[in-house]
């Protein structure tokens, strides 16, 4: 797999520099940490911090800005950020109203974010955390106890971010984040592997006519491999798995995210969305808002994930509020 | 190359359906044409119509909405839309103030949009057109006399779109569009090919250690092939070619777009942007705004393009105005 990079050892630092140079109106890099923080921290509100291993861009640096994250901590590629880095992020963005950590459910992330929480609390900073585990594919996985956290995390950023921006207190922002987590389900699939720059070879190999269903965003095994099927058949299977886990009834309202893993053209994501829309509409489910694009990727993997978020009036309101970040903008 | 589709013959219609279902707040599909038009056409203003072959998503359907296009005409994959389709788009969006056609410089597009212009003028609709030819790589190409039109077209949509939204008359919107065209230069490169669904095999083959410099968005040949170099070396060469064609002086202001062709991770695009920023900054050029992402793709091609737009106060104003479309949002 060809990569347009310089030295594999420098991809993280050079990427962060490239992001900071591209978006000074939104964010800046902390001097001595791999942390992107909002340029404008003047508003007195609860702060949101997320992050994880790199290689999932635009997650999470692309979501730093108004109405979403106050800081994103970037680990090395597919590697949890260390506790001291998360701690630096928390210190940089706390304005006295406390900090909510949004953690994807990978053992390393959970451990390191928790240690950072302890460190910050010893400084007297109020810190709460939530763990996102939206992936219905498998129960435990390579780096995870319980379900993995994948693209549904972006809904947590958006909605909890809006709640914080609206002035809710830490306990309430956490409550809203937890409601999103309990209402969102996702599932992914891959047509091809990703390649970690330092490794230089694909994480796994798929025969030319096979796909992996339920794959994780680091190439963790899914439920099974199969001969490639049509977009409609594949979508139906994935959505079926989501709906088995979170049944929806006629009249329910949802938001949908069809997320590209990187190398899948937008054309194909829209063909998938056509089927998602058809299936949900046939059930009488109302699709309040649809997002199609690359929200949480896996280096150059081809494939996609579907996320479904069940809405109530509170989630709907915060989902609809203004967001203004490099990778996610919503105009109220 | 695996594709997540149903039948290759239906990719266009199914994609358009998927787009329309995803974004009803922005656009709808015309009943009997492959045209996406703004849902809200109530404002009395000059209308902008663009389009071309499909396979470059989000171009151009993703740019239909406030402050950009009023309609996008979608041809089959890598195939110009027919004159009657463009004509339907023009009729659908004209509100008496005339229509500006934004055409990428490919012989088929120029011919078919021109025929549609003639047809609409016979109906008494005022129509003007501009042809975008921002690609500095080669003078003539497979489907083109003169330079090809590539990602700089998105700047034309954004800025002429804002001019129309601001109430300028047709002649003036055309003048602004032409100023963007004369001030923008682009150049691309590819690490891998694209595959047209109906063909089922890659448009061309690149050895595992080679890249093509100056490649077009349909896989047209560029200036040369070479062994893959570092991101910095490649960026320097491409920007050098752009700056030879449009010299910039200390104090000049520009907007930069680093565009992914599809399969190149955002991580790599940001590493490229780091170098673009370094080179322009060393020249004393002021980077007013940077866009990094996928704006004009080529099915699943890996690679990227760089576009540089030289700004004056008028272009800067319109670039900064609100845009609200599925794929391009800017909050003033």
Tell me the domain boundaries of chain B: 8-182, 184-330
Task: Test A18 with B292 for CB contact under 8 angstroms.
Answer: yes
**Ranges in chain A, pLDDT < 70:** none
**In terms of C-beta density within 10 A (0-12 exposed, 13-18 middle, 19 or more buried), how is residue A140 classed?**
exposed
Cβ-Cβ pairs closer than 8 A, A with B, add up to: 177
State how far the Cα of A108 lies from the Cα of A79, in Å rounded to an integer. 8
Phi and psi (nearest 5°) for B115? -65, -40
DSSP code for A69: B
B32 min Cα distance to partner chain A (Å): 18
Task: Test A277 with B18 for CB contact under 8 angstroms.
Answer: yes
Q: What is the CA angle A115-A121-A127, rounded to 5?
A: 85
State how far the Cα of A254 lies from the Cα of A310, in Å rounded to an integer. 4
Q: What is the CATH architecture assignment of A8-182? A: 3-Layer(aba) Sandwich (3.40)
Q: Where are the alpha helices (DSSP H) in chain A?
A: 11-22, 83-93, 107-122, 153-165, 170-183, 231-245, 266-282, 313-320
State how far the Cα of A194 lies from the Cα of B250, in Å rounded to an integer. 41
Spatial neighbors of A72 by CB under 8 A, at least 6 apart, are A35, A36, A49, A50, A51, A60, A61, A63, A64, A89
Alpha-carbon distances of B94 from A89, A125, B41, B70, B174, rounded to whole Å: 51, 58, 9, 9, 15
Q: Per-residue pLDDT tens for B130-156?
A: 999 999 999 888 888 899 999 999 999
Question: Are the CB atoms for A48 and A160 separated by under 8 Å?
Answer: yes
Question: Are the CB atoms for B61 and B55 separated by under 8 Å?
Answer: no
Task: Tell me if the bond preceding B74 is cis, omega within 30° of 0.
Answer: no
**A86-112: string of b/e by CB count within 10 Å (b at 16+)?**
bbbbbbbbbeebbbbbbbbbbebbbeb
Q: How high is the pLDDT of residue B144?
A: 83
Question: Are the CB atoms for B142 and B218 separated by under 8 Å?
Answer: yes
Q: How high is the pLDDT of residue A6?
A: 98
Question: Are the CB atoms for A296 and A259 separated by under 8 Å?
Answer: yes
Predicted-assembly ipTM surpassing the 0.85 threshold: yes
According to CATH, the superfamily of the domain at B184-330 is: Dihydroxyacetone kinase; domain 2 (3.30.1180.20)
Here the contacts of B136-140 (C-beta below 8 Å, separation 24 or greater) are: B136/B185, B136/B186, B136/B187, B136/B241, B136/B242, B136/B244, B136/B245, B137/B187, B137/B188, B137/B213, B137/B214, B137/B215, B137/B216, B137/B222, B137/B223, B137/B241, B138/B214, B138/B220, B138/B221, B138/B222, B138/B223
A320 min Cα distance to partner chain B (Å): 13
DSSP H or E stretch at residue A303: strand A303-310
Residue of B nearest to A6 (CA): B230
State how far the Cα of B160 lies from the Cα of A295, in Å rounded to an integer. 29
State how far the Cα of A38 lies from the Cα of A95, in Å rounded to an integer. 13
State how far the Cα of A168 lies from the Cα of B206, in Å rounded to an integer. 55
CA dihedral of A144, A145, A150, A153, whole degrees rounded to 10 = -120
| CA-closest candidate to residue B15, choices B37, B40, B36 | B36
Spatial neighbors of A309 by CB under 8 A, at least 6 apart, are A152, A155, A180, A183, A184, A254, A255, A256, A257, A315, A319
Q: Among B3, B271, B299, select the one facing A18 at the smallest CB separation.
A: B271
Task: Test A290 with B262 for CB contact under 8 angstroms.
Answer: no
Q: Where are the alpha helices (DSSP H) in A189-324?
A: 231-245, 266-282, 313-320
State how far the Cα of A322 lies from the Cα of A324, in Å rounded to an integer. 7
Q: Among A14, A23, A57, select the one facing B274 at the smallest CB separation.
A: A14
**Ranges in chain B, pLDDT < 50:** none
Cite the active site residues of A. 56, 218
Question: Are the CB atoms for B177 and B161 separated by under 8 Å?
Answer: no
Q: How high is the pLDDT of residue A139?
A: 87
B58: chain A residues, CB-CB within 8 Å: 266
| CA-closest candidate to residue A36, choices A12, A19, A11, A14 | A19
A328 min Cα distance to partner chain B (Å): 9
Q: How high is the pLDDT of residue B143?
A: 82
State how far the Cα of B287 lies from the Cα of B285, in Å rounded to an integer. 6
Q: How high is the pLDDT of residue A142?
A: 81
User: Rounded to the nearest 10 degrees, what angle do helices A11-22 and B266-282 cross at?
Assistant: 60
Question: Are the CB atoms for B158 and B307 separated by under 8 Å?
Answer: no
Question: Are the CB atoms for B74 and B12 separated by under 8 Å?
Answer: yes
Here the contacts of B196-201 (C-beta below 8 Å, separation 24 or greater) are: B196/B55, B196/B77, B196/B78, B196/B299, B197/B3, B197/B5, B197/B8, B197/B11, B197/B77, B198/B8, B198/B9, B198/B77, B200/B8, B201/B1
DSSP H or E stretch at residue B11: helix B11-22
| CA-closest candidate to residue B258, choices A326, A111, A113 | A326
Q: Per-residue pLDDT tens for A205-257?
A: 899 999 999 999 999 999 999 999 999 999 999 999 999 999 999 999 999 99
Question: Are the CB atoms for B208 and B257 separated by under 8 Å?
Answer: no
Q: Among A5, A232, A265, select the one facing B271 at the smallest CB separation.
A: A5
How many angstroms separate the first and last alpha carbons of chain B? 41
B274: chain A residues, CB-CB within 8 Å: 14-15, 17-18, 21
The label of the residue with tokens 């921006």 reads A165
Question: Are the CB atoms for B153 and B80 separated by under 8 Å?
Answer: no
**DSSP characters over A1-56:** -----S-GGGHHHHHHHHHHHH-TTTEEE-TTSSEEEES---S-S-EEEEEEEESS
State how far the Cα of B197 lies from the Cα of B251, in Å rounded to an integer. 46
Spatial neighbors of B217 by CB under 8 A, at least 6 apart, are B56, B148, B150, B151, B188, B261, B296, B297, B298
DSSP code for B198: T
Task: Test A274 with B324 for CB contact under 8 angstroms.
Answer: no
Task: Test B266 with A230 for CB contact under 8 angstroms.
Answer: no
State how far the Cα of B35 lies from the Cα of A64, in Å rounded to an integer. 35
Task: Test A57 with B270 for CB contact under 8 angstroms.
Answer: yes
Catalytic: which of B23, B60, B157, B218?
A: B218
């Amino acid at each position: 797999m060809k990569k347009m990079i310089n030295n594999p050892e420098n991809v993280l630092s050079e990427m962060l520099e490239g992001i900071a140079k591209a978006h000074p109106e939104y964010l800046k890099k902390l001097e001595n940490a791999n942390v992107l923080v909002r340029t404008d921290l003047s508003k007195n509100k609860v702060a949101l911090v997320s992050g994880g291993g790199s290689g999932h861009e635009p997650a999470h640096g692309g979501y730093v800005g108004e109405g979403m994250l106050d800081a994103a901590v970037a680990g090395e590629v597919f590697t949890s950020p260390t506790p001291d880095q998360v701690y630096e992020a928390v210190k940089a963005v706390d304005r006295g109203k406390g900090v909510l950590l949004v953690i994807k459910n990978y053992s390393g992330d959970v451990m390191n974010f928790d240690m950072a929480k302890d460190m910050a609390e010893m400084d007297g900073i109020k810190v709460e955390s939530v763990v996102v585990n939206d992936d219905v594919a498998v129960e435990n996985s390579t780096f995870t106890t319980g379900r993995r956290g994948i693209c549904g995390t972006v809904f947590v950023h958006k909605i909890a971010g809006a709640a914080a921006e609206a002035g809710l207190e830490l306990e309430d922002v956490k409550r809203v984040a937890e409601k999103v987590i309990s209402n969102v389900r996702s599932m992914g699939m891959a047509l091809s592997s990703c390649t970690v720059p330092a490794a230089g070879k694909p994480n796994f190999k798929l025969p030319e006519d096979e796909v992996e269903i339920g794959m994780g965003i680091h190439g963790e095994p899914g439920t099974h491999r199969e001969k490639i099927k049509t977009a409609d058949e594949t979508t139906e299977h994935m959505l079926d798995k989501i709906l088995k886990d979170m049944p929806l009834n006629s009249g329910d309202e949802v938001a949908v995210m069809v997320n590209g893993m990187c190398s899948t053209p937008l054309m194909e994501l829209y063909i998938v969305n056509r089927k998602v829309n058809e299936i949900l509409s046939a059930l009488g489910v109302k699709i309040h808002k649809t997002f199609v694009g690359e929200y949480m990727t896996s280096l150059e993997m081809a494939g996609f994930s579907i996320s479904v978020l069940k809405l109530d009036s509170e989630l709907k309101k915060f989902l609809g509020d203004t967001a203004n970040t490099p990778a996610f903008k919503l105009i109220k």
